[in-house]
Amino acid sequence: MSRNLRPKFYEFFAGGGMARLGLGEAWDCAFANDFDPVKARAYRANFPDAAAHFREGDVWALETSDLPGQADLAWASSPCQDFSLAGARAGLAGGRSSAFFGFWKLVQGLNAEGRAPKTIVIENVVGLLTSHGGADFQALCQALADEGYHFGALEIDANRFVPQSRPRVFVVATKENLPPQLVHVEPRLPFHSQRVVAAANALPPETRERWVWWGLPFPPASNRTLESVCMADDQVEWFDEKRQDALLALLGKRHQELLARAKGRGIRTIATAFRRMRVENGKKIQRTELRFDGFAGCLRTPSGGSSKQFIVVIEGDDVRVRSLHPNEAGALMGLTEGYSLPPSANAALKICGDGVVVDVVKWLSEVLLSPLATHEVRDLNEPERTRSRAN
């Protein structure tokens, strides 16, 4: 690739284009696809050049002739519901997650034509590592190996970049030469978690031979807090007393105690809350659970009660509760004020809940994807010393 040209990428299951935002101006989008009309409208609203490269529709309906040239990178955040701990765990055979094979059919076709993407990123929930006892992850790795890729997985929690707890798995596969500066000989924390190590060790020997322990520097500390992304109190709608009391009445004993401690501190404290189903004394019961660690819980699509997240503000004995605002969800995903979310709150929360955090993609591009595409590998010695001190 000429250094005068920016590397090109395809973005499959593009949603609102968050992977594209993370890759930024250093990359050119040659093709993007999503089948969801809400997400397609959001993509078009935010990328004026979408008419030239965005295709709305089922990935299975695409042919290799729809994909221009050869991409340096293909990004695929396939539907995750069947891998999610909150989902049906149907695995790669699941109706929605089988969309992955629609994408993979294209990769195989491109490879047969001699123009397969040089690097592939497959992003999904951590359940991908354990779905069907690890069989789905093994099938994915075997598919990559069969097409000539070396590959490795990274577990990255977005809370290193934004005030949202959002662990995700990023499988990075490449046909490029492996610069020694980007590879470790053994797994290292924090991105090679116990789950990643166990999944790698469970691979058949012939597949395991193509495994790579990607060597990434420790990311810089984020200065964003939960409070920093919250909107001003007078810009949001608060629950009335009846609705607030109904939500707080679902607190279990431990979370009642947490709330009481926050009241006792007498200072403004912000918590987030979810409603969850728990088993108590052999029975399922709905509970409201609070978190005071300064992070929002993982954003989800607004499909049910357990998916909705709330903001709780405590100032002494004064407690106020409201729903998470779509603009706050956008900020938790790394979207800037210039990004146009749909006017419908549910549609906006869907875009955010199904997206990938922009800051994570940006960092991954800087330390791994761009170096692979441009063959310009940065000196990682200093980050290595920083990581050693941090661990």
Average pLDDT score over the chain? 90
How sure is the predictor about 1, in pLDDT bands with cuts at 50, 70 and 90? Answer: very low
Predicted confidence (pLDDT) at residue 4 exceeds the cutoff of 90 = no
Residue 212 within a domain: yes
pLDDT surpassing 60 at residue 218: yes
Domain count, the chain: 2
Residue 276, domain extent: 232-324
Residues 208 and 310 in one domain: no
Tell me what the mean pLDDT of segment 140-146 comes to: 94
Last residue of a domain, one of 281, 302, 324: 324
In a domain, 364, yes or no: yes
pLDDT score recorded for residue 307: 73
At residue 387, does pLDDT exceed 50?
no
The identity of residue 290, as a single letter, is L
Q: Is the pLDDT of residue 384 over 80?
A: no
pLDDT of residue 304: 54
Per-residue model confidence (pLDDT) at position 378: 54
pLDDT of residue 220: 86
Residue 162's pLDDT is 97
Higher local confidence (pLDDT), 3 or 269? 269
Average pLDDT over residues 104-114: 96
Distance CA 202, CA 137 (A): 10
Span 150-178, average pLDDT? 96
- Can you give the pLDDT at residue 381? 41
* Region 154-162 average pLDDT: 97
Average pLDDT over residues 176-205: 94
Residue 153 falls inside a structural domain: yes
- Indicate whether 256 and 174 sit together in one domain: no
pLDDT at 87: 42
Question: How far is the C-alpha of 296 from the C-alpha of 277, rounded, in Å?
Answer: 19
pLDDT value, residue 305? 52
Residue 214 lies in a domain: yes
Is the pLDDT assigned to residue 382 strictly greater than 90? no
Mark whether 177 and 57 lie in a shared domain.
Answer: yes
- 170 found inside a domain: yes
- Tell me the mean pLDDT in the region 353-381: 86
127 and 13 co-located in one domain: yes
166 and 238 belong to one structural domain: no
Which pLDDT band, with edges at 50, 70 and 90, does 303 fall under? low
CA distance 179 to 21: 26
Q: Are residues 39 and 134 part of one domain? A: yes
> What pLDDT score was predicted for residue 293?
94
Name the more confident of 195 and 91: 195
In DSSP notation, 115-168 reads: ---SEEEEEEEGGGGTGGGGHHHHHHHHHHHHTT-EEEEEEEEGGGTSSB--EE
* C-alpha to C-alpha distance for 386 and 378, rounded to whole angstroms: 15
My answer on whether 25 and 134 are in the same domain is yes
- State what percent of residues in the chain have pLDDT above 70: 89
- CATH code assigned at 103: 3.40.50.150
Judgement on whether residues 63 and 157 belong to the same structural domain of the protein: yes
